[in-house]
Amino acid sequence: MEIQKIGIVGAGQMGNGIAHVLALAGYDVLLNDISQDGLDAAMATITRNMERQVSRDKITQSDMDGALGRIASTLTLTDLGATDLVIEAATERETVKQAIFDALLPHLLPHTILTSNTSSISITRLASRTDRPEKFMGFHFMNPVPVMQLVELIRGIATDKDTYNACLSVVEKLGKTAASAEDFPGFIVNRILMPMINEAVYTLYEGVGNVRSIDQSMKLGANHPMGPLELADFIGLDTCLAIMNVLHDGLADTKYRPCPLLTKYVEAGWLGRKTGRGFYDYRGETPVPTR
């Protein structure tokens, strides 16, 4: 099956990035969100990011104009039923994702493939609640989507070969690289990345180093482009905590226990860049460590 029209649920940081790259690759995109403000902000972000690509000669003005013309938006979730592929990119809460798929099911075309951009939730479990578990899989983009080259493709226990190949062809058309992952908590990237971030928070919690020394150590000592605490702020501390809880619950190993300090920051509403404070305070001209 050739995929031509793609629906995206959620116009946030991930959703607008996914819409951006799909439209540039020639797909017709229908972007859905629960608020018009969210859709307007997404289109403004996509336009701004494409303008930056034009200024850097990554794409032409004609490429940008064509891509923007291929993105439509809607507040009505069921409008996405007429697409060939749905990519759910809503908040990382399983009950929310289940409610979205439940609402979509009666309106889908027989051939529509359902996917989730989840970073850690069981694909098999999400798929089992639908009428098409064989046409359901994980489609996990990395953030920021226009920049990052990897997409994790995660097959549930029932996902068939045609569905996998159809999604693989989309990744290839985007010019990105697919990593095939089995459906275990955290998949590949977050199974490795989140415990590292969590350990960095423990290192801070136990007073081994402060925010700046921990991040500098990993940037200069391990050649990481971004320190783990800086990266946690970029991802969102609530997302990091949610993934750690999925790892801890799903694998039943104490090595995945979320650091109490991470929990405390989330309880305080200090979620990183998106709220202005996390392990760094972003409210001034330059980020300042909060510990």
Cα(289)–Cα(287) distance, integer angstroms: 7
Active site residue 169: no
Active site residue 140: yes
- 119 is known to lie in a ligand binding site: yes
What are the structure tokens assigned to 48, written together? 């701004």
Active site residue 182: no
Handedness of CA 12, 5, 86, 74 (dihedral sign): positive
Q: Give the DSSP H/E element, type plus range, for residue 153.
A: strand 150-155
Q: Which member of 32, 152, 198, 230 is catalytic?
A: 152
Active site residue 190: yes
Length of the chain measured in residues: 291
- 176 is known to lie in a ligand binding site: no
- 17 is known to lie in a ligand binding site: no
Cβ–Cβ < 8 Å for 258, 245? yes
- 15 is known to lie in a ligand binding site: yes
- 178 is known to lie in a ligand binding site: no
Q: Give the number of other CB atoms < 10 A from CB of residue 172.
A: 13
Q: Which member of 88, 140, 198, 230 is catalytic?
A: 140
What are the structure tokens assigned to 99, written together? 């409610």
Cα(198)–Cα(212) distance, integer angstroms: 16
- 23 is known to lie in a ligand binding site: no
- 199 is known to lie in a ligand binding site: no
- 274 is known to lie in a ligand binding site: yes
Binding annotation: 10-15, 33, 92, 97, 119, 143, 274
Binding-site residues for NAD(+) sit at: 10-15, 33, 92, 97, 119, 143, 274
**Which are the catalytic amino acids?**
119, 140, 152, 190
